[in-house]
Amino acid sequence: MSLTVLQVQENKETQLPEFKRERLEKQHYKLVGNHSAVKICYWCKKSAKGLADCYKNDFYGIPSNQCLEMSPAITCNKRCKHCWRDTSVFSTKWVGPVDDPKFIVEECIKSRYKLMTGLKGNPENDLDRIEESFIPKHAAISLTGEPMMYPRYGELIKEFFKHDFTTIFGVTSGTVPETIKSLDVFPTNIYLSVEAWDKEMYKTLCIPVIPDAWEKFLESADLLKSVKTRTVMKITCMKGLNMHSPEKFAFLVEKMQPDVIACKAYAYMGYSKQRMKKENTPDYEEVHKFSSKLADVVGYEIAASKKGSDIVILRRSYSRIIDGKEFIYKNLEEEKKRNEEYLKEIKDRL
């Protein structure tokens, strides 16, 4: 594979000053170009060693050992209390140069390979599985920042598919609805991150740096109701902060009508330890109880759960129909079929 050559532009408009780039690299990030990053997550390493898989494998058939987690935007327009990333990196709008999507994808693949090579050193690891793990097939555009701030996000999605990725999960906080509007090829799954049920709670927990973030978030929820791909509302469950009245999330469910609601426990880790308490992390049983109450209110049903990841997913029992096409989560095997069908469907649009 021939790689595009790009020099990092270091000037006052660069998203990340040099000392913060060095700090991220010490935390085992690989920085790509002017504004992207890739890192190997816990579950990818576990899966590569043949020990365990991420919940995305259990629910959607994603090969955890072949996951490439990245973001094309180190910056964000929110400073969420529960975020385990460095929220001192933020901006109200895009700053600095805009790297080419092809360059980003190719360099992320190359950087991921370098991060994974250390796994070869342990003789107890299955070398065949390790070799398989070097070839990413799934892109998780969720590592840090707000990925949809990247001005060429739509092209990035297409570029991953062109590089033989079979699934792409895109995560957004919903603060850039214009990006959603611009897409003609969607990720396999789009996640909308949800923490609050009203504007005041949103300002407290999400700490937006743009004045109309809540309104943009609501617009994104409304837009996702009509997109032709799997939609997921991901609720970060924070004990003592947003779990006491699950029924208050109902109006957001009605607005978005997600195919799946994923209720996942907040994890007390990283930079969030500076802003949160360990007591804000609910256990699996508490997340399950919250999910059951929410399901009863919104008319969804529990589809699956995973202890350890402390996540429960709810499914709509009826289809969302867009232009005659049905969207509904049924089970793991049906998800695998849907992913294969989607690749065929978008082939001529790449």
Spacing of C-alpha 176 from chain mean position = 15
The 3-class SS string of 267-297 reads CCCHHHHHCCCHHHCCCHHHHHHHHHHHHHH
**pLDDT for 1:** 34
Contact 316, 298 (CB under 8 A): no
pTM assigned to the model: 0.94
Q: Where are the domains of the chain?
A: 18-349
pLDDT at position 14 is 66
| Residue 261, helix vs strand vs coil | strand
Alpha-helical segments (H) within 152-302: 153-162, 177-182, 199-206, 213-224, 250-256, 284-298
By the 8 A CB rule, do 161 and 184 touch?
no
Token readout for 318 is 């009826």
Q: Across all residues in the chain, what is the average pLDDT? A: 93
- 15, two tokens: 């998203």
Q: CB-based contacts of 214: which residues, under 8 Å, 6+ apart? A: 199, 202, 203, 208
**Residue 143 to residue 295: CA distance in whole angstroms:** 29
pLDDT at 6: 36
- Positions in the chain whose pLDDT score sits under 50: 1-11
Three-state SS for 169?
Answer: strand
Per the CB < 8 A criterion, the answer to whether 29 and 74 are in contact is: no
Say how far apart CA 35 and CA 217 lie, in whole Å: 23
Which residue has 């989607």 as its token pair? 342
Task: Give the CATH fold of the 18-349 domain.
Answer: TIM Barrel (3.20.20)
What pLDDT does residue 330 have? 95
* pLDDT for position 341: 95
- The residue count of the chain comes to 350
Residue 19's pLDDT is: 83
End-to-end CA distance of the chain: 19
| Residue type for position 83 | C
* DSSP secondary structure string for all residues of 159-171: HHHHTT-SEEEEE
Interatomic CA distance for residues 138 and 305, integer angstroms = 21
Query: What pLDDT is stored for residue 63 in this prediction?
Result: 95
201 strand-pairing partners:
none
Coil/strand/helix, residue 328: coil
Residues whose CB is less than 8 angstroms from the CB of residue 208 and which lie 6 or more positions away in sequence, other chains included: 77, 78, 79, 175, 202, 214
Query: Dihedral of CA 21/23/26/29: which sign?
Result: negative
Tens-place pLDDT, residues 229-284? 999 999 999 999 999 999 999 999 999 999 999 999 999 999 999 999 999 999 99
- Cα maximum dimension of the chain: 54
- What is the per-residue pLDDT for 3? 35
Is the distance from CB of 213 to CB of 169 less than 8 angstroms?
A: no
Q: Is the dihedral of CA 263, 41, 61, 179 positive or negative?
A: positive
Q: What region does 323 belong to: left with phi over 0, alpha with psi -120 to 50, or beta? A: left
